[in-house]
Amino acid sequence: MMKAWEFLSKRGVWCKGNYAVDKNGIAINPLDNLAVKFCVLGAICKCYPEEKEFVIVRDMLQLVKGKISDWNDDPKRKKYQVVELLKKLDI
């Protein structure tokens, strides 16, 4: 199983504003095979579809101090920051 930080480390995979989007930029379920870009939460869903996501999210909430989606979508947020957080949590 690929970790979410490894998954988002790939070029052109991270996005803001939606959990996942297709090749046309249309919002889509992160578990849909047509999804090509993912926010941090979408990547977690994609990489850990069978896991209890609330445990993963609980650990992240302690570090981002707010809504994870707002943290991901912050205009100043950079991909490397997302990857670093996921790597720190070994997600």
Look at residue 19 and tell me whether its pLDDT is greater than 80.
Answer: yes
pLDDT value of position 7 = 97
**This prediction's pTM:** 0.88
Please provide residue 15's backbone torsions phi and psi, each rounded to the nearest 5 degrees: -145, 170
- Adjacent-strand bridge partners of 88: none
pLDDT band at 52 (very low <50, low <70, confident <90, very high): low
Beta bridge mates, 37: 21
pLDDT given for residue 8 in this prediction: 97
pLDDT at residue 33, as a whole number:
96
Q: What is the pLDDT of residue 60?
A: 75
Q: Report how far apart the first and last C-alpha atoms of the chain are (Å, whole number).
A: 11
